[in-house]
């Protein structure tokens, strides 16, 4: 059978990234001593030399089939990146894995166990000479209570769910639970799935004592990230689903040389 | 050219609804004396006799092209429903138009003019003997402040954006602005796009004085709808994006013989 | 602490369904002899008597925490429905679990193993006297090749990805893999994640030999469902993302007394 | 009333962008001699000095209210950017307007008039010394027919809807209809809303004669963009909703110094 992909292309244009997206496979991830199950969205890509017509996309899926049900780790990602390079004969390979991560928490007063979920993305890249880059993205839902509304009102203050999106570049992947804690600490309050009445009282009062604009949230997180030697690049966004408006408020801090 | 759609099908199964969806066309709608522009998503469908293979879908789009830039009205929908029946030679026709509706409001204290948007859907159906049914759906964003959180906490109360979805069946289409007002009145507070500081104070305190569970919101709206003779069927849902949780709270009241 | 939810409401309006949605928990599901992991979206609801103000929503999450990491089964759903009734003291309980299901397939010619994912929802309801209803929903992506385009063109035929949505009511849950096979058989072709060149040739030619309108797809599926004694109610929709249009085509067959 | 936003922040961290998003307002846009209506999503942002706590967000909405129902143009965007700077007292201002654009086409054989819609985003930025940057983004749905599937199969070839996303930086905004034409020319076929049988035959055969990988589509578009002096920066992506797979294929070409 003719190999159409291997034909020549004479436009002389290199393709930066070409591959497959939105593939789903079951995986695992270690959190502490416990393994948790993960249903990942996979994106895999490579660069393509200027003179070749196309890539053989089924090879990405064959590689994905081989790692099915295995555990996400630095070593596993390195292995995928290498195998992509070998099978597709390219200089650059990239893999993205998006999944839901579960954190087990204790409610603040009743001390009940509850589970909270966070959307994460792990990205690995391998360039020429097998240089490796690691990226990690997470969306952490938090609450924000408006400092202005609190200050000017006789009682109450508008508050709402907000979402922090943090993207970082690191040499080694950090512990996900550590990142979540750092982000939640800079909001008006972390979220729980269970809140008994004693907890709800605690959470409500804590939020009122801890007002934050979206500006405050991203500054707080940037203060940490900028001083964490393990993180070499970042962007942080907070988007607040204002309870008194139909539109949203947002703030962004970007590392000066951001290239994530 | 062969007319494949007109071939026979011998499985003896009538199709309840077949047509096209996700078509976009520009339209207008009258609100009071002012015409506002509308970019509608259109869905058009018909039933199909058990013995015919398929329908000619391009005819729906030809009909849509003819009403492009015209004004949504009861008469316009009747005309579309009739033309669908004529061109496709069927017993049942249906059209759905989804669009953003703008309401101009005054902010509560500073009396500034601001514009708030609402997602609406107008549905018309025409059955045998040209019986007509009209349905209307609207999503109204509001705020809810938790009565329990307020009662048990020394200060503050968690509040958040919530969405009311109301679907009604009527003989004639009601004024959209009237429906919005009725729904907003049953929430902890209506939403504005502009809030100067004096307005924010007002809105914050009003919300605190007006706590509502999702249960309260749907009951308040059902109280109105059940006693409004113009409305012959309904379902109302309130979904609250809880500021202290990652999950949402919802409540639904359905008319006993609901068939919307 | 005051129990605000237990206050009286004097509007005399029963709430049909009130609860929580969009909660995520890890679960398992048995497929044949193999257990597969599942990250489920959970919705849990109850009815509410006309004279009571609200429900205690944290109890739903406590029940969800207890079933975390367990295996979805008829018995497990019955247990959840009973526990909801006991803890919330109501007549009606409902649970919905939405998740991705994986089916392992052999590619048609090269016989490679590949994994395809399907979005499923399992719904259980328990009414007065503990009457049980089971509902199951699935979205099966397939391909459709246009019979008209094939017939009138000298070569080629437009084809595209389409989605079948089937909702059924059953006494006992059916095998998911059986439902998928039945649906895929009524399309122009089932989808694979891996296709080597010999497979791609096979799939392309099979699709060309097997043209289907959305009308054909829903009729084929309805033919099966209507004659399957295990299924007591259903609705089936096929939506085709037409490769030559920006809008989509759809067809729906609904069981006469549909109440899903 | 206290001005909380004007308080000092002592963390010494500049915020790159802070503002409001997801606001909807009605606008107009000129296409040729005809004005078309637009329902825009608006995002407006500014930078924030390191020593100030927050911005006054209601001022963005007041500016949006003033341009409501006006016509999108280079001049109008310049005016918005200036007014944001004046009212919020900052060095950097940014506005994004996302909207649906309609193009009127003639079907290829029957020469019927039909309307096709495209999602666009216009972005304006104003920096220190009032330097201006203009960005434009568009999503153009097209069809792709697989060159490999055509070559290896006795008859037929899999084809599908695909989406091209082009982001460009320009000195002056280009004509939208020109950009659409250029992109559609690099695909297997442009899309229409109406296709009578003679048109469907034409479109099917043209697509079969014009096979394209996602790699071909982005290379074709990049060939144009790289040689168009009016465009100073760009990124182009093509994502193909493969009719024989559940996953998608994508390709990206990025300008070397891409900073969009």
What are the extents of the domains in chain D?
4-254
Q: What is the pLDDT of residues D105-119, one digit of tens each?
A: 999 999 999 999 999
Q: Do B16 and C55 touch (CB under 8 A)?
A: no
DSSP state of D191: -
pLDDT tens column, C111-164: 999 999 999 999 999 998 888 999 999 999 999 999 999 999 999 999 999 999
The DSSP call for residue A33 is T
By three-state DSSP, how is residue D134 classified? strand
What CATH number has the domain spanning A4-254?
A: 3.10.270.10
* φ and ψ at residue D124, rounded to 5 degrees: -125, 140
Q: Pick from D116, D191, D208: which is nearest to C156 by CB?
A: D208
Please name the member of B36, B114, B117 whose beta carbon is closest to the beta carbon of D61: B114
Residues of C whose CB is below 8 A from A26: 36-37, 102
D82: Cα within 13 Å, side-chain hemisphere: 7
pLDDT at B54: 97
pLDDT score, position C65: 97
For the stretch A105-164, pLDDT in tens is: 999 999 999 999 999 999 999 998 888 999 999 999 999 999 999 999 999 999 999 999
A24 closest CA partner among B146, D210, C99, C243: C99
Tell me how close the Cα of C86 comes to any Cα of chain A, in angstroms: 18
| pLDDT grade for A173, boundaries at 50, 70 and 90 | confident
- For residue B254, what are its two tokens? 């359905």
- When CB atoms are compared, the residue of B145, B161, B246 closest to A117 is B246
Alpha helix locations (H) across chain A?
58-67, 74-88, 147-152, 176-185, 197-208, 214-226
A60 CA: distance to closest CA in chain D (Å): 11
Q: Please report, rounded to a whole number, the percentage of residues in chain C having pLDDT higher than 70.
A: 99
Contact A76, A28 (CB under 8 A): no
What's the gap in Å between the CA of B99 and the closest CA on chain D?
Answer: 10
The residue-averaged pLDDT of A181-190 equals 98
Neighbours of B175 (CB within 10 A): 10
List subunits contacting chain D, requiring 3 or more Cβ pairs under 8 Å.
A, B, C
Residues in C closer than 8 angstroms to D189, CB to CB, are 244
* Tokens found for residue C243: 């490769």
Chain C contacts of A72, Cβ < 8 Å? none
CB contact under 8 A, D252 and A147: no
The chains in contact with chain C, meaning 3 or more Cβ pairs closer than 8 Å, are A, B, D
Helix, strand, coil shares of chain D as percentages rounded to 5?
Answer: 25, 40, 30
Contacts of C117 in chain A (CB under 8 A): 24
Model confidence at B123, in pLDDT bands (50, 70, 90)? Answer: very high
pLDDT recorded at residue C260: 57
The CA distance from D181 to the nearest CA of chain C, in Å, is: 16
Give D230: exposed, middle or buried? Use CB within 10 Å, 0-12, 13-18, 19+: exposed
Mutate to test the interface with C, among B219, B227, B234, B254 (most CBs of C within 10 A): B219
The residue among D213, D234, D255, D186 whose CA lies nearest residue A18 is: D213
DSSP B232-252: EEEEEEEEE--TT-SSEEEEE
The predicted pLDDT at position A157 comes to 98
pLDDT at C21: 98
Q: What is the mean pLDDT of residues A45-74?
A: 97
pLDDT confidence tier of residue A260, bands split at 50, 70 and 90: low
Q: Are C92 and C126 in contact (CB under 8 A)?
A: yes
The pLDDT of residue C129? 87
User: How far from each other are the two terminal CA atoms of chain B, in whole angstroms?
Assistant: 41
> What is the distance of C-alpha B190 from the center of its chain?
18
pLDDT at D32: 78
CB spacing of C194 vs A58 below 8 angstroms: yes
B259 pLDDT more than 80: no
Using 50, 70 and 90 to split pLDDT, how confident is the model at B46? very high
The closest alpha carbon to A215, from A256, A178, A162, A172, belongs to A162
pLDDT at C230 over 90: yes
Task: Name the phi and psi angles at A52, rounded to 5.
Answer: -110, 140
| Residue C251 exposed, middle or buried by CB count within 10 Å (0-12, 13-18, 19+) | buried
* Cα D45 from Cα D20, distance rounded (Å): 7
Q: For residues D184 and D164, give the distance between their C-alpha atoms in angstroms, rounded to a whole number.
A: 9
Residue A252 clears pLDDT 70, i.e. is over it: yes
Mean pLDDT over the full length of chain A? 96
Partner-chain contact B39 D37, CB within 8 Å? yes
Instruction: Please give the Cα distance from D236 to C241 (Å, whole number).
Output: 23
Q: Chain C residue closest to A38 (CA)?
A: C39
pLDDT of residue B260: 57
Show the tokens assigned to C63: 């029940």
Chain D positions in Cβ-Cβ contact with residue B26 (cut-off 8 Å): 36-37, 102
Residues from chain B contacting residue D39 (CB–CB below 8 Å): 37-39, 100
DSSP code for B175: P
Q: Is A224 exposed, middle or buried (0-12, 13-18, 19+ CB in 10 A)?
A: middle
Please report residues of C whose CB lies closer than 8 A to that of B239.
Answer: 21
Partner residue facing A243 (CB), from B148, B161, B244? B161
Q: CA of D38: how far to CAs of A88, B34, D41, D134, in Å?
A: 45, 17, 10, 19
User: Nearest-CA residue of chain A relative to D240?
Assistant: A20
pLDDT at position D260 over 90:
no
Rounded-to-integer distance, Cα B99 and Cα D39, Å:
10
ipTM associated with this complex: 0.94
CA of A210: which chain B residue's CA is closest? B156
Determine the pLDDT at residue C221: 98
DSSP A210-246: S---HHHHHHHHHHHHHT-TTEEEEEEEEEE--TT-S
The Cα C24–Cα A102 span in angstroms is 9
Contacts of D147 in chain A (CB under 8 A): 4, 53-54
Identify the DSSP state of B24: E
pLDDT-based confidence at A172, cuts 50/70/90? confident
Q: What is the mean pLDDT of residues A33-39?
A: 91
Whether A37 contacts C233, CB under 8 Å = no
A197 CB neighbours in chain C (<8 A) are 1
Number of A:B CB contacts under 8 A? 131
Cβ–Cβ gap C192/D244 under 8 Å? yes
What is the rounded distance in angstroms from the CA atom of residue D168 to the CA atom of residue D160? Answer: 26
pLDDT band at D33 (very low <50, low <70, confident <90, very high): confident
Mean pLDDT of A47-53: 96
**pLDDT over 70 at B132, yes or no:** yes
pLDDT (average), residues A67-89 = 96
Residue of C3, C6, C22, C24 to mutate, testing the A interface (most A Cβ within 10 Å of its Cβ): C24
Adjacent-strand bridge partners of A116: A103
Residue A172 CB contacts under 8 Å (≥ 6 apart), including other chains = A74, A134, A230
pLDDT at position B256 is: 77
Partner-chain contact B65 D194, CB within 8 Å: yes
B15, B148, B218 ranked by CB distance to C253: nearest: B15
Q: Decide if A20 and D57 are in contact by the 8 Å CB cutoff.
A: no
Q: Which residue of D has its CA nearest to A61?
A: D247
Strands D34-48 and C248-254: unpaired
Interface with A, mutate which of D13, D55, D236 (most A CBs under 10 A):
D13
Cβ partners under 8 Å of residue A225, min gap 6: A166, A168, A231, A234, A236
pLDDT band at residue A228 under the 50/70/90 scheme: very high
- The pLDDT confidence band at residue B173, using thresholds 50, 70 and 90, is confident
Q: Look at residue A259 in the predicted model and tell me its pLDDT.
A: 66
Q: What does the pLDDT read at residue C168?
A: 97
Contact across the interface for B55 and C11, Cβ inside 8 Å: no
Chain B residue numbers touching D113 (CB-CB < 8 A): 65
Cβ-Cβ pairs closer than 8 A, A with D, add up to 148
Out of C156, C207, C246, closest to residue D141 by CB: C246
pLDDT tens per residue, range B5-35: 999 999 999 999 999 999 999 999 998 788 9
Closest Cα in chain D to C117: D246
Query: Chains contacting A with at least 3 CB pairs below 8 Å?
Result: B, C, D
Q: Quick one: angle between helices C176-185 and C214-226, nearest 10? A: 140
- Across the interface, which of C13, C220, C254 has its CB nearest the CB of B16? C254
pLDDT at residue number A249: 98
């Amino acid at each position: 059978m003719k190999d159409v992909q291997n034909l020549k292309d004479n436009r002389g244009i290199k393709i930066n990234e070409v591959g497959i997206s939105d593939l789903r496979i079951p995986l695992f991830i270690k959190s502490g001593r416990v393994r948790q199950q993960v249903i990942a969205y996979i994106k895999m890509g490579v660069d393509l030399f200027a003179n070749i017509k196309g890539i053989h996309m089924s090879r990405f899926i064959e590689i994905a089939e081989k790692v099915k049900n295995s555990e996400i780790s630095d070593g596993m990602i390195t292995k995928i990146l290498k195998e992509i390079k070998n099978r597709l004969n390219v200089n650059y390979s990239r893999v993205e894995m998006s999944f839901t991560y579960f954190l087990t928490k204790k409610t603040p007063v009743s001390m009940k166990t509850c589970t909270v979920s966070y959307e994460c993305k792990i990205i690995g890249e391998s360039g020429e000479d097998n240089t490796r880059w690691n990226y990690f993205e997470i969306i952490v839902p938090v609450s924000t209570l408006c400092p202005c509304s609190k200050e000017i009102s006789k009682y109450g203050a508008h508050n709402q769910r907000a979402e922090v999106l943090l993207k970082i570049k690191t040499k080694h992947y950090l512990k996900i639970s550590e990142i979540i804690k750092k982000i939640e600490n800079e909001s008006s309050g972390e979220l729980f799935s269970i809140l008994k009445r004693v907890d709800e009282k605690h959470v409500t009062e804590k939020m009122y004592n801890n007002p934050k604009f979206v500006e405050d949230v991203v500054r707080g997180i940037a203060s940490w990230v900028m001083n964490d030697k393990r993180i070499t690049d970042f962007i942080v966004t907070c988007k607040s689903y204002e309870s008194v408006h139909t539109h949203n408020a947002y703030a962004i801090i970007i590392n000066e040389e951001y290239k994530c």
